[in-house]
Amino acid sequence: MARDDKEQSPRWHIDLQPWASERPSLQEEARRFLQYITTPEVPCLTEGGDEARLTDAKGAWAACLDPRYSLIHSIRRKHCRVYSFGLGADDRSLEMSLVRSGCDVHCFDPSLKQPHLQKAQMWLHRLSVDWRDPNPALVSQHQHGNTKKLATILNDFGHRQVDVLKADMESAEWKILENIILEGVLSSVGQLLLEVHLHWAGFEVPGDEPAVVRYWFSLLKELERAHFRLFHVHSDPTKPQVFLHKNVLNASSAYTLSWVNTKWL
Protein backbone atom coordinates (compact mmCIF):
# COMPACT_ATOMS: atom_id res chain seq x y z
CA MET A 1 0.00 0.00 0.00
CA ALA A 2 1.40 3.36 -1.00
CA ARG A 3 1.36 6.03 1.64
CA ASP A 4 1.66 9.77 1.17
CA ASP A 5 3.57 11.22 4.14
CA LYS A 6 1.78 14.54 3.71
CA GLU A 7 -1.54 12.75 4.08
CA GLN A 8 -0.39 11.10 7.30
CA SER A 9 0.16 14.39 9.14
CA PRO A 10 -2.96 15.62 11.00
CA ARG A 11 -4.22 18.96 9.73
CA TRP A 12 -6.47 21.63 11.22
CA HIS A 13 -8.48 22.60 8.14
CA ILE A 14 -9.00 21.63 4.53
CA ASP A 15 -7.77 23.80 1.68
CA LEU A 16 -10.72 25.69 0.21
CA GLN A 17 -10.80 25.91 -3.57
CA PRO A 18 -11.06 29.32 -5.28
CA TRP A 19 -14.59 30.50 -5.96
CA ALA A 20 -16.11 29.20 -9.18
CA SER A 21 -16.71 32.76 -10.40
CA GLU A 22 -15.51 36.29 -9.63
CA ARG A 23 -18.25 36.75 -7.06
CA PRO A 24 -19.75 34.02 -4.85
CA SER A 25 -22.71 32.58 -6.78
CA LEU A 26 -24.84 29.57 -5.85
CA GLN A 27 -25.56 28.88 -9.51
CA GLU A 28 -21.89 28.81 -10.50
CA GLU A 29 -20.77 26.86 -7.44
CA ALA A 30 -23.54 24.32 -8.04
CA ARG A 31 -22.68 24.03 -11.73
CA ARG A 32 -19.01 23.28 -10.97
CA PHE A 33 -19.84 20.85 -8.15
CA LEU A 34 -22.50 18.94 -10.08
CA GLN A 35 -20.32 18.59 -13.14
CA TYR A 36 -17.59 17.19 -10.92
CA ILE A 37 -19.72 14.55 -9.18
CA THR A 38 -21.48 13.39 -12.36
CA THR A 39 -18.31 12.86 -14.42
CA PRO A 40 -16.52 9.55 -13.67
CA GLU A 41 -12.75 9.90 -14.02
CA VAL A 42 -11.63 6.29 -14.45
CA PRO A 43 -13.31 3.14 -15.82
CA CYS A 44 -13.51 -0.25 -14.10
CA LEU A 45 -12.68 -2.88 -16.69
CA THR A 46 -11.21 -6.36 -16.94
CA GLU A 47 -8.06 -6.90 -18.96
CA GLY A 48 -10.37 -7.94 -21.80
CA GLY A 49 -12.27 -4.65 -21.65
CA ASP A 50 -15.45 -5.90 -19.97
CA GLU A 51 -17.02 -4.10 -17.03
CA ALA A 52 -15.47 -5.20 -13.75
CA ARG A 53 -17.70 -4.18 -10.86
CA LEU A 54 -19.68 -5.62 -8.01
CA THR A 55 -22.94 -3.74 -7.42
CA ASP A 56 -25.93 -3.86 -5.15
CA ALA A 57 -29.37 -4.90 -6.41
CA LYS A 58 -30.26 -1.38 -7.58
CA GLY A 59 -26.91 -0.58 -9.16
CA ALA A 60 -26.40 2.37 -6.82
CA TRP A 61 -23.36 1.09 -4.90
CA ALA A 62 -20.38 -0.31 -6.78
CA ALA A 63 -16.97 -1.78 -5.97
CA CYS A 64 -14.27 -1.71 -8.64
CA LEU A 65 -12.57 -4.99 -9.62
CA ASP A 66 -10.30 -3.48 -12.29
CA PRO A 67 -6.92 -5.30 -12.03
CA ARG A 68 -5.12 -1.94 -12.14
CA TYR A 69 -6.36 -1.40 -8.58
CA SER A 70 -5.98 -3.35 -5.37
CA LEU A 71 -9.37 -4.85 -4.51
CA ILE A 72 -9.37 -7.80 -6.91
CA HIS A 73 -5.82 -8.69 -5.82
CA SER A 74 -6.81 -8.50 -2.13
CA ILE A 75 -9.71 -10.83 -2.88
CA ARG A 76 -7.45 -13.31 -4.66
CA ARG A 77 -5.01 -13.25 -1.75
CA LYS A 78 -7.97 -13.80 0.63
CA HIS A 79 -6.95 -10.67 2.49
CA CYS A 80 -9.89 -8.35 1.83
CA ARG A 81 -11.61 -6.22 4.49
CA VAL A 82 -14.80 -4.17 4.12
CA TYR A 83 -16.41 -1.60 6.44
CA SER A 84 -20.05 -0.69 5.81
CA PHE A 85 -21.66 2.13 7.79
CA GLY A 86 -25.39 2.77 7.61
CA LEU A 87 -28.41 3.63 9.71
CA GLY A 88 -30.88 0.74 9.70
CA ALA A 89 -29.58 -0.50 6.35
CA ASP A 90 -31.96 -3.01 4.78
CA ASP A 91 -30.17 -3.69 1.48
CA ARG A 92 -26.82 -5.34 2.02
CA SER A 93 -26.61 -7.05 -1.37
CA LEU A 94 -23.23 -5.47 -2.19
CA GLU A 95 -21.89 -6.55 1.19
CA MET A 96 -23.14 -10.10 0.56
CA SER A 97 -21.42 -10.13 -2.85
CA LEU A 98 -18.18 -9.12 -1.15
CA VAL A 99 -18.69 -11.84 1.47
CA ARG A 100 -19.14 -14.41 -1.29
CA SER A 101 -15.93 -13.09 -2.86
CA GLY A 102 -14.12 -13.95 0.36
CA CYS A 103 -13.97 -10.52 2.02
CA ASP A 104 -14.11 -10.01 5.78
CA VAL A 105 -17.16 -7.72 6.00
CA HIS A 106 -17.99 -5.55 9.03
CA CYS A 107 -21.36 -3.77 9.07
CA PHE A 108 -21.83 -0.97 11.59
CA ASP A 109 -25.32 0.00 12.74
CA PRO A 110 -25.92 1.79 16.08
CA SER A 111 -29.54 0.58 16.17
CA LEU A 112 -28.54 -3.05 16.80
CA LYS A 113 -29.55 -4.58 20.13
CA GLN A 114 -26.33 -6.54 20.63
CA PRO A 115 -22.80 -5.03 20.67
CA HIS A 116 -21.47 -7.63 18.19
CA LEU A 117 -23.20 -10.29 16.15
CA GLN A 118 -22.19 -12.60 13.32
CA LYS A 119 -24.98 -13.07 10.80
CA ALA A 120 -24.98 -14.37 7.22
CA GLN A 121 -21.17 -14.53 7.35
CA MET A 122 -20.95 -10.82 8.19
CA TRP A 123 -19.92 -9.15 11.41
CA LEU A 124 -22.52 -6.69 12.72
CA HIS A 125 -21.47 -4.07 15.27
CA ARG A 126 -23.58 -1.69 17.38
CA LEU A 127 -21.41 1.23 16.41
CA SER A 128 -21.24 3.98 13.83
CA VAL A 129 -18.75 6.48 12.48
CA ASP A 130 -18.74 10.17 13.42
CA TRP A 131 -16.48 13.18 12.94
CA ARG A 132 -15.63 13.24 16.65
CA ASP A 133 -15.28 10.79 19.48
CA PRO A 134 -17.97 10.88 22.19
CA ASN A 135 -17.60 12.97 25.32
CA PRO A 136 -16.51 10.57 28.13
CA ALA A 137 -19.00 12.21 30.49
CA LEU A 138 -21.86 11.43 28.10
CA VAL A 139 -20.63 7.88 27.55
CA SER A 140 -20.80 7.31 31.30
CA GLN A 141 -24.48 8.29 31.11
CA HIS A 142 -24.98 5.78 28.24
CA GLN A 143 -25.53 8.56 25.70
CA HIS A 144 -23.86 8.72 22.30
CA GLY A 145 -21.38 6.03 23.29
CA ASN A 146 -21.91 4.09 20.06
CA THR A 147 -20.30 6.53 17.61
CA LYS A 148 -16.57 7.04 17.06
CA LYS A 149 -14.17 8.53 14.54
CA LEU A 150 -12.93 6.18 11.85
CA ALA A 151 -9.35 6.40 13.13
CA THR A 152 -10.58 5.31 16.58
CA ILE A 153 -12.61 2.40 15.17
CA LEU A 154 -9.66 1.15 13.14
CA ASN A 155 -7.46 1.35 16.22
CA ASP A 156 -10.02 -0.37 18.47
CA PHE A 157 -10.46 -3.24 15.99
CA GLY A 158 -6.72 -3.54 15.36
CA HIS A 159 -7.19 -2.87 11.64
CA ARG A 160 -4.62 -0.82 9.74
CA GLN A 161 -6.58 -0.61 6.50
CA VAL A 162 -9.87 -1.37 4.74
CA ASP A 163 -10.18 -2.31 1.08
CA VAL A 164 -13.70 -0.88 0.79
CA LEU A 165 -15.34 1.77 2.99
CA LYS A 166 -19.08 2.19 2.30
CA ALA A 167 -21.08 4.85 4.14
CA ASP A 168 -24.62 6.21 4.02
CA MET A 169 -24.66 8.62 6.94
CA GLU A 170 -27.81 10.67 6.25
CA SER A 171 -26.16 14.12 5.93
CA ALA A 172 -23.32 13.55 8.43
CA GLU A 173 -21.06 12.48 5.54
CA TRP A 174 -19.52 15.92 4.92
CA LYS A 175 -18.11 16.38 8.43
CA ILE A 176 -17.09 12.70 8.59
CA LEU A 177 -15.25 13.05 5.28
CA GLU A 178 -13.56 16.20 6.55
CA ASN A 179 -12.37 14.35 9.68
CA ILE A 180 -11.02 11.42 7.63
CA ILE A 181 -9.10 13.86 5.45
CA LEU A 182 -7.72 15.96 8.31
CA GLU A 183 -6.61 12.96 10.36
CA GLY A 184 -4.80 11.37 7.40
CA VAL A 185 -6.95 8.24 7.37
CA LEU A 186 -7.57 8.28 3.61
CA SER A 187 -4.35 6.39 2.92
CA SER A 188 -5.83 3.45 4.88
CA VAL A 189 -8.79 3.18 2.46
CA GLY A 190 -8.71 1.41 -0.91
CA GLN A 191 -12.17 2.39 -2.19
CA LEU A 192 -14.61 4.94 -0.81
CA LEU A 193 -18.34 4.49 -1.52
CA LEU A 194 -20.38 7.40 -0.21
CA GLU A 195 -23.93 8.68 -0.49
CA VAL A 196 -23.98 12.47 -0.41
CA HIS A 197 -27.09 14.47 0.48
CA LEU A 198 -27.57 17.88 -1.10
CA HIS A 199 -31.00 19.01 0.09
CA TRP A 200 -29.38 20.93 2.96
CA ALA A 201 -25.87 21.84 4.10
CA GLY A 202 -25.44 18.84 6.40
CA PHE A 203 -24.77 18.55 10.12
CA GLU A 204 -22.60 21.40 11.46
CA VAL A 205 -21.67 22.72 8.00
CA PRO A 206 -21.69 26.54 8.33
CA GLY A 207 -21.87 29.35 5.78
CA ASP A 208 -24.26 30.76 3.20
CA GLU A 209 -25.32 28.68 0.19
CA PRO A 210 -22.38 29.45 -2.16
CA ALA A 211 -19.92 28.85 0.71
CA VAL A 212 -21.51 25.49 1.52
CA VAL A 213 -21.17 24.23 -2.05
CA ARG A 214 -17.60 25.54 -2.25
CA TYR A 215 -16.86 23.58 0.92
CA TRP A 216 -18.40 20.40 -0.54
CA PHE A 217 -16.36 20.82 -3.73
CA SER A 218 -13.18 21.48 -1.75
CA LEU A 219 -13.63 18.22 0.19
CA LEU A 220 -13.89 16.28 -3.06
CA LYS A 221 -10.80 18.01 -4.45
CA GLU A 222 -8.98 16.84 -1.29
CA LEU A 223 -9.93 13.29 -2.31
CA GLU A 224 -8.41 13.96 -5.72
CA ARG A 225 -5.23 15.22 -4.04
CA ALA A 226 -5.08 11.95 -2.14
CA HIS A 227 -5.16 10.00 -5.45
CA PHE A 228 -8.85 9.04 -5.30
CA ARG A 229 -10.66 8.97 -8.64
CA LEU A 230 -14.41 8.74 -9.22
CA PHE A 231 -15.43 5.59 -11.07
CA HIS A 232 -19.18 5.35 -10.47
CA VAL A 233 -22.05 7.78 -9.87
CA HIS A 234 -25.73 7.02 -9.35
CA SER A 235 -28.71 9.26 -8.67
CA ASP A 236 -32.03 7.80 -7.58
CA PRO A 237 -34.82 9.06 -9.90
CA THR A 238 -37.31 8.69 -7.06
CA LYS A 239 -35.46 11.25 -4.93
CA PRO A 240 -36.76 14.85 -5.05
CA GLN A 241 -34.88 17.47 -7.08
CA VAL A 242 -33.88 19.59 -4.11
CA PHE A 243 -30.51 21.31 -3.81
CA LEU A 244 -30.11 23.44 -0.66
CA HIS A 245 -33.90 23.71 -0.31
CA LYS A 246 -34.53 24.74 -3.93
CA ASN A 247 -34.39 23.44 -7.50
CA VAL A 248 -30.95 24.18 -8.90
CA LEU A 249 -30.01 22.81 -12.34
CA ASN A 250 -32.48 19.94 -11.79
CA ALA A 251 -30.03 18.32 -9.37
CA SER A 252 -31.10 15.32 -7.32
CA SER A 253 -31.11 15.60 -3.54
CA ALA A 254 -28.82 12.55 -3.23
CA TYR A 255 -26.05 10.88 -5.22
CA THR A 256 -24.13 7.68 -4.56
CA LEU A 257 -20.47 8.18 -5.46
CA SER A 258 -17.66 5.62 -5.63
CA TRP A 259 -13.93 6.41 -5.70
CA VAL A 260 -10.87 4.19 -6.01
CA ASN A 261 -7.53 5.08 -4.44
CA THR A 262 -5.27 4.75 -7.49
CA LYS A 263 -2.10 4.67 -5.35
CA TRP A 264 -3.35 1.98 -2.97
CA LEU A 265 -1.44 -1.12 -4.03
pLDDT tens column, 231-242: 999 998 889 999
C-alpha 260, offset from chain centre: 11
Q: What pLDDT is recorded for position 222?
A: 97
pLDDT at 67 over 80: yes
Rounded-to-integer distance, Cα 104 and Cα 99, Å: 7
What does the pLDDT look like over 15-27, one tens digit per residue? 999 999 999 999 9
Task: Answer yes or no: pTM beyond 0.85.
Answer: yes
Query: What confidence tens digit (pLDDT) does each residue in 243-263 have?
Result: 999 999 999 999 999 999 999
Q: What are the sequence ranges of the domains in the chain?
A: 18-261
Mean pLDDT on 173-196: 96
Task: Write out the DSSP string of 44-100.
Answer: -B-TTS-B-EEE-TTS-SEEE--TTSSHHHHHHTT--EEEEEESS----HHHHHHHH
The proportion of the chain whose per-residue pLDDT surpasses 70, expressed as a percent, equals 91
Would you state the pLDDT for residue 136? 62
**3-class secondary-structure state, position 110:** coil
Q: What percentage of residues in the chain have a pLDDT greater than 90? A: 77
Matching CATH number, 18-261, of 1.10.8, 3.40.140, 3.40.50, 3.30.1180: 3.40.50
What is the pLDDT at residue 115? 84
pLDDT (average), residues 144-154: 84
Question: pLDDT at residue 70 above 60?
Answer: yes
Give the per-residue pLDDT at 194.
97
d(CA 6, CA 263): 14
Identity (one letter) of the amino acid at 2?
A: A
